């Protein structure tokens, strides 16, 4: 025998959408014209002020190792921004600059949870949660997000799943894949429950700037304990600033947790590139015109996509309050989520994701991302409608 994989490696699942992306790219290589609703990657380029700042930093020699915790100026910028957006100012030692928001999930679980401990997690939810939980030998305890509750995580459902093994609750609002935005009251309730049961609240806020209706509606559970006792906020630059390829995030949490997460970062990747961090400072403190323009465009696309989907017999779609996704119910078409996604790719050249990629709670749903132009959305809707109509014809025969 050559070698044996570790149990942890055997538990790794990764993110299923990257597999779909590889399949789609293969079809494109064969000359197929695919409408891309699958991946959550903004089609906008990073705003020029951010790109120029990174270029200047590179030219100025910001190309060396730097502090593992992040540039002092960046952490100061995060303190200022947190004060403005969440109403409290964390100490500098509560702030860690990270190579993506995704990795904060892993850092936090690794530093706070032991094998066999339980983590409460939304279902459907961002696939990295499940993969990181399983990799660390912890146990995911799923909270179903119900369509009749507009996919908002219900604090009472969470409370009902707390046991003496629960160490962490993962909260994500606005949410991937459903776009659900929890009410400020629900968020406060979650913070109360975490406090009552002395468990860590991991608040994934990567879509915090992406709320459509009432921009002041965003509420973070961190406003309650100021990230000093049990709340860890994960934030990222990928979505709101169209910076998916830059790999930049920020974690805020209790000082001792952040210190350990910083050591884990140091152990695994040393530090985040300083020129990327300079761009991050410009993203949060610089001109926000492009960011607001992107949000307006996403709103229009969401409206177009939701209206288009609801016009197709057998599909019903709620209007999400935030993020860049819609999550229609396709069960009345008679196909499972996977069959629907496969059928759309094969017969209509439309790429979208089965809801079950996000957990068993996504059964009967698919996820579409609004990161393509309005004409392409219209084309995608037309193709889906036609493919669903062909299905019905077949059934009738
Ligand atoms: C809920 C959620 N958290 C975290 C991430 C990861 O973001 P990043 O690109 O910063 O790693 C994503 C990306 O899709 C997400 O949807």
Q: What is the pLDDT of residues 87-98, one digit of tens each?
A: 999 999 999 999
pLDDT of residue 393: 63
Question: Which atom of ligand 1 approaches the CA of 103 most closely?
Answer: 11
Residue 386 alpha carbon to ligand 1 centre in Å: 33
Can you name the residues that pair with 326 across neighbouring β-strands?
368
CB–CB of 205/217 below 8 Å? Answer: no
Of the pLDDT bands very low, low, confident and very high (cuts 50, 70, 90), residue 21 is: confident
How many whole angstroms separate alpha carbon 250 and alpha carbon 88? 16
Residue 206 alpha carbon to ligand 1 centre in Å: 6
Domain spans of the chain, in order of start: 7-45+289-396, 48-285
Can you name the residues that pair with 316 across neighbouring β-strands?
329
Helix axes 374-396, 289-310, angle to 10 degrees: 20
Instruction: Tell me the two tokens of residue 386.
Output: 């036609």
Q: What is the pLDDT of residues 189-199, one digit of tens each?
A: 999 999 999 99
Question: Which atom of ligand 1 approaches the CA of 126 most closely?
Answer: 1
Pick the CATH number of 48-285 from 2.60.40.10, 3.40.640.10, 3.30.365.10, 3.30.360.10: 3.40.640.10
Q: Give the 3-state secondary structure of residue 234.
A: strand
Give the closest residue (by CA) to ligand 1 atom 12.
102
Can you name the residues that pair with 250 across neighbouring β-strands?
97, 235
**Fold held by 7-45+289-396:** 3.90.1150
Q: What is the pLDDT of residues 337-373, one digit of tens each?
A: 999 999 999 999 999 999 999 999 999 999 999 999 9
How many whole angstroms separate alpha carbon 25 and alpha carbon 125? 25
If we measure between CA atoms, which residue out of 145, 286, 153, 300 comes closest to residue 212?
300
Q: What is the pLDDT of residues 280-327, one digit of tens each?
A: 999 999 999 999 999 999 999 999 999 999 999 999 999 999 999 999
Residue 154 alpha carbon to ligand 1 centre in Å: 22
């Amino acid at each position: 025998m050559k070698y044996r994989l570790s149990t942890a490696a055997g538990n790794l699942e990764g993110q299923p959408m990257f597999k779909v992306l590889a399949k789609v790219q293969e079809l494109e290589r064969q000359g197929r014209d695919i409408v891309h609703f699958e991946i959550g990657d903004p089609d906008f380029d990073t705003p020029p002020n951010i790109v120029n700042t990174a270029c200047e930093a590179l030219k100025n020699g910001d190309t060396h190792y730097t502090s593992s915790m992040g540039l002092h100026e960046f952490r100061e910028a995060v303190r200022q921004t947190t004060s403005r957006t969440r109403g409290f100012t964390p100490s500098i030692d509560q702030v860690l600059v990270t190579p993506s928001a995704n990795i904060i999930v892993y850092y936090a679980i690794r530093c706070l949870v032991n094998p066999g401990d339980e983590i409460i997690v939304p279902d459907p939810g961002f696939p990295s949660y499940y993969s990181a939980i399983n990799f660390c030998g912890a146990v995911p305890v799923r909270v179903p997000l119900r369509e009749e509750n507009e996919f908002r995580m219900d604090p009472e459902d969470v409370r009902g799943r707390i046991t003496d093994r629960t160490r962490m609750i993962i909260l994500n609002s606005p949410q991937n894949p459903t776009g659900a935005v929890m009410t400020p009251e629900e968020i406060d309730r979650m913070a109360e429950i975490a406090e009552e049961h002395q468990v860590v609240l991991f608040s994934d806020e990567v879509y915090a700037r992406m709320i459509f209706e009432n921009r002041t509606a965003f509420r973070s559970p961190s406003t309650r304990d100021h990230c000093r006792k049990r709340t860890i906020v994960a934030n990222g630059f990928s979505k709101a600033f169209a910076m998916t390829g830059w790999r930049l995030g920020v974690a805020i949490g209790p000082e001792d947790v952040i210190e350990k997460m910083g050591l884990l970062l140091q152990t695994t990747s040393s530090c985040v590139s300083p020129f990327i961090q300079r761009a991050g400072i410009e993203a949060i403190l610089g001109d926000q015109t492009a960011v607001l323009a992107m949000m307006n465009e996403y709103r229009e696309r969401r409206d177009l996509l939701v209206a288009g989907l609801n016009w197709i017999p057998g599909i019903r779609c709620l209007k999400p309050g935030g993020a860049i996704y819609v999550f229609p119910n396709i069960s009345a078409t008679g196909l499972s989520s996977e069959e629907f996604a496969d059928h759309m790719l094969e017969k209509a050249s439309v790429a979208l994701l089965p809801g079950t990629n996000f957990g068993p709670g996504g059964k009967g749903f698919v996820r579409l991302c609004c990161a393509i132009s309005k004409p392409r959305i219209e084309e995608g809707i037309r193709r889906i409608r036609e493919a669903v109509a062909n299905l019905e014809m077949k059934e009738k025969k």
